Amino acid sequence: MNAIEVEGISKHYGSLRAVDGVSLSIESGTIFGLLGPNGAGKTTLIAMLVTMRRPTSGSARVNGFDITKQADSVRKSIGIVFQDPSLDDELTARENLELHAAMYAVPKQVRHGRIEEVIKLVGLEKHLKQQVKTFSGGMKRRLEIARGLVHHPKILFLDEPTIGLDPQTRAGIWDYIKKLNEKEGITIILTTHYMDEADSTCQRVGIIDSGKIIALDTPENLKNTLGGDVISIKCGGTDQCVNEISQLKWVKGAVKHGGFVDVRVEKGEEKIPKILRLMEQHGIPVESVSLHKPSLDDVFLHYTGKTIREDEAGPRDAMRLRRRAWGHRK
């Protein structure tokens, strides 16, 4: 059974096609990653799925409910954690959870037990009585995830759940995400700029660019489509470097990004000396060379021609979502 079914959905703003004819199925109980740079359309797509914006055309069903005709039912069946913090710092962790449970009409007789369940799931049971303003960034994020689970949603949307956190805290958040997926059987839809974490966490990923889904599969299958090895070269004159390397018959592809050129080849260790000799012949200075198997970063670069960096993950998209109350759909 699929938790989400999207058929030809689009969102246009005049001549701008923010989302352009996207079709997508997400199986229940999976962790699905939606990957894309700012302006690619991922925030607009999620905004339509959670009923904050009406599609220009096409349709989608979330938990079996039509996002346009049964918006209230969609909202009751999902949880969402925004990129920017949205907790009340003056309240305790329990009070934040109680308030959210009341807003979602969780019966009083089951609230206490449910709060105990979700707070234990994210490892904050010893901090229920503390004011949120005393929490670290990682603790706040875990509490927001717990809050999004209080009303037993079937799908949880996470917008950049670990951005701005240190590596150790990020690793902990991903562990909690995996645990709630396993224990609660919940479908998780997340956006992230951390390709390595999407690779290790998501069972399927979709890459969106210019409003279209341009790649959709398991991380492993997407990496396998590239095949071979990736030689990453830091050099002067990247344009000339790409032009010369692309003429070699055994090169599968060469893409520049920043001061680097990534070259896809078979048996990379044998090809490095040949590439270095070519650079020397053309007077192209080489600062460094590295060799690795294709990663999700390489897949993203291959399909979009650009890389995702953390500094691209600004708060504007999340703020646009937060400013729209549940009852205000466009």
Cα–Cα distance, 180 to 89 (Å, whole number):
25
Cα–Cα distance, 105 to 92 (Å, whole number):
20
Q: Quick one: pLDDT at residue 123?
A: 87
% of the chain surpassing 70 pLDDT: 93
List of domains in the chain: 2-222 (3.40.50.300), 228-293 (3.30.70.100)
Q: Quick one: pLDDT at residue 261?
A: 93
Residues in CB range of 125: below 8 A, 6 or more apart: 116, 119
Summarize the confidence of residues 215-220 as an average pLDDT: 94
Question: What's the sign of the alpha-carbon dihedral 132, 133, 135, 137?
Answer: positive
Other beta carbons within 10 Å of 180: 21
How is residue 119 written in tokens? 């707070």
Q: Quick one: pLDDT at residue 309?
A: 55
Name the 3-class secondary structure at 137: helix
pLDDT-derived band at 315 (thresholds 50, 70, 90) equals very low
Q: For residue 193, give the nearest of 215, 163, 218 by alpha carbon.
A: 163
Q: Quick one: pLDDT at residue 307?
A: 72
pTM of the model: 0.80
Beta strands in the chain (DSSP E): 2-13, 16-27, 31-35, 57-62, 65-66, 78-81, 155-159, 187-191, 204-209, 212-217, 229-235, 253-257, 260-265, 286-292
pLDDT-derived band at 185 (thresholds 50, 70, 90) equals confident
Please check the confidence at residue 164 and state whether its pLDDT lies above 80.
no
